[in-house]
Structure 1
Amino acid sequence: MQHPSFSFIARTVTLVLLAYLVVSAALVPDIELFFHEGAGVEQASLGLLLFGIGAWFLLAGEARWREWQIPAAMALMLAREMDFDKRFTDHGLLKLTTYTHAAPTSTRIIGAIAIAFTLWTGMRILRRNLPLWWARLRMAEVDAWLVLGAFVCGVAAKTLDGLGRKLADFGIIIQHETNALAGKGEEVLEALCYYLIVLAVARLAVPAVRRAAGLEPVAAE
């Protein structure tokens, strides 16, 4: 089977994403709902992450298992977007109080496993992928710039998350409308982050690019 080109995947993902967003926005009775949790923008984010994971396993060749930390990182993002860290327990798995105050032992064990796996995944990315990413960024490779853009969008999104609460800790009070706008910006930036990640995965899935990025032996077919 012929490997789909990066441009074909990028165009397809972009068109499907835009079509979904337009239809989703048109169907909600109030455009404000389009930015709420479980609605248009967040659902697009979930779909992008699912597509990214599937695309990696379908297209990444020998690297699909060797570099398992890449789809694992997307799976962790997906779980966080779906609030898996607090959906199934009375105590949030990632909250410090879960481990410093009274909480079921089973919750602490599951939380410890989740945190350990997240740290393991992050360390593998830092050790195996960060040096290669930096080298490719210096060569102005497309995949490296896509990853950088995703990182910037992700950091900006987390900065806007709960902006009113964060600023209140410093004695700064912002208007409700401004805080609501920041919340919308967070959702849009998160979706953009995942969109860029999907494009980076599609680019790295191209055999020649994968080999050049050090994700697969040069002699591999």
Structure 2
Amino acid sequence: MYRHHEATDRSATSGSLSDRVERPARLAEGIVWVMIFALVSALVIALDAGALAPGEKLTREGGSVETMSMVGYLVVIGAYLRIMGRHSFWAVPMVLLFMAAREFDADKRFTSEGILSTKILFYDTPVREKILALAIWAVLVWTIVSLIRHRGPDLVRALRGGAPWALAFAGGMAVVVFSKAIDGLARKLSPWGIDVSAPVDRNAGILEEFLELGIPALFLLALFLKVATVPRSFPR
């Protein structure tokens, strides 16, 4: 029995030492990933800005800012699957994939109405588009519910404890909400009798596009912070 406990203690100590070595390395790796993404994004946007035709906007649909936002989500998916391997939870990359598709305007690109809008159901649209919309809604709801059910409690506990990874993730979600709130600001405020000038509305749109570029960067940072600070047995 003594030998059994001694072997167990050695195993625990070895695991602890392994974690102490691995976690700072993971954090450093995460910082490098974020910096590379930021530098590549800045380079692509700068090249795009230099090649703009008269009248074109840097934040146009399908432009460099929007494209790099989509690429950012794909980078997070790749990093998550690489780190977690067979322990990956399917809902995490699925939600990120939905967000990447949204940046690519896939919700409006292939149908007569936005596939996430109720207009596709109540307007005169093809039946196949209505069926597709319902199927995508079902998958999206199932994914979000699964994510909240299996990862929500751990996130809440981490936020209460002030865990850096949870704060980075919450920051990303806050940017998601704020950026969506200022998108089409004039249109959203007009029903309330609030007039927004054209320059303010335009600048809000520009700010929204650049804020969305930071969302995947925060998610990527949250991923590596979690790997660097949470024991391996903790669900990810």
Same fold by TM-score, threshold 0.5 exceeded?
Answer: yes
Among 8, 12, 27, the residue aligned to 1:6 = 27
Which position in structure 2 is the counterpart of 1:49? 73
Identity %: 29
Which position in structure 2 is the counterpart of 1:83? 105
> What's the offset of the Cα at 1:179?
0.6
CA RMSD of aligned residues (A): 2.2
Whole-angstrom distance in 1 between the partners of 2:170 and 2:125: 38
Higher helix share: 2
Among 28, 32, 56, the residue aligned to 2:49 = 28
1:136–1:213 contact (8 Å) kept in structure 2: no
Unaligned runs of 5+ in 2: 1-20
Whole-angstrom distance in 2 between the partners of 1:20 and 1:7: 20
Whole-angstrom distance in 2 between the partners of 1:23 and 1:138: 38
Q: Cα–Cα, structure 1 residues 96 and 113, in superposed 2: closer, same or farther, change >3 Å?
A: same
2:70–2:100 contact (8 Å) kept in structure 1: yes
Whole-angstrom distance in 2 between the partners of 1:210 and 1:175: 51
Equivalent residues, number: 211
Whole-angstrom distance in 2 between the partners of 1:57 and 1:15: 19
> What's the offset of the Cα at 1:205?
4.5
Which position in structure 2 is the counterpart of 1:218? none
Q: Which amino acid aligns with 2:76?
A: G
Whole-angstrom distance in 1 between the partners of 2:105 and 2:141: 18
Flag the structure with larger Rg. 2
Whole-angstrom distance in 1 between the partners of 2:152 and 2:26: 25
> What's the offset of the Cα at 1:143?
1.1
Which position in structure 2 is the counterpart of 1:104? 126
Normalising by structure 2, report the TM-score.
0.81
Which position in structure 1 is the counterpart of 2:234? 213
Q: Cα–Cα, structure 1 residues 188 and 74, in superposed 2: closer, same or farther, change >3 Å?
A: same
Query: Is 1:94 the counterpart of 2:116 in the alignment?
Result: yes
Q: Which amino acid aligns with 1:68?
A: W
Q: Deviations over 1:8-40 (max 9, x none)?
A: 222232234234314522542459732222223
1:211 counterpart SS class: coil
1:56–1:205 contact (8 Å) kept in structure 2: no
Q: Cα–Cα, structure 1 residues 26 and 63, in superposed 2: closer, same or farther, change >3 Å?
A: same
Report which stretch shifted further, 52-61 or 88-97: 88-97
1:73–1:121 contact (8 Å) kept in structure 2: yes
Unaligned runs of 5+ in 1: 216-221
Whole-angstrom distance in 1 between the partners of 2:87 and 2:150: 12
Which position in structure 2 is the counterpart of 1:185? 207
Whole-angstrom distance in 2 between the partners of 1:151 and 1:12: 20
Which position in structure 2 is the counterpart of 1:137? 159
Q: Which amino acid aligns with 2:29?
A: F
Correspondences of 1:107-186 after superposition (within 5 Å) = 107-186=129-208
Normalising by structure 1, report the TM-score.
0.86
Query: Is 1:196 the counterpart of 2:218 in the alignment?
Result: yes
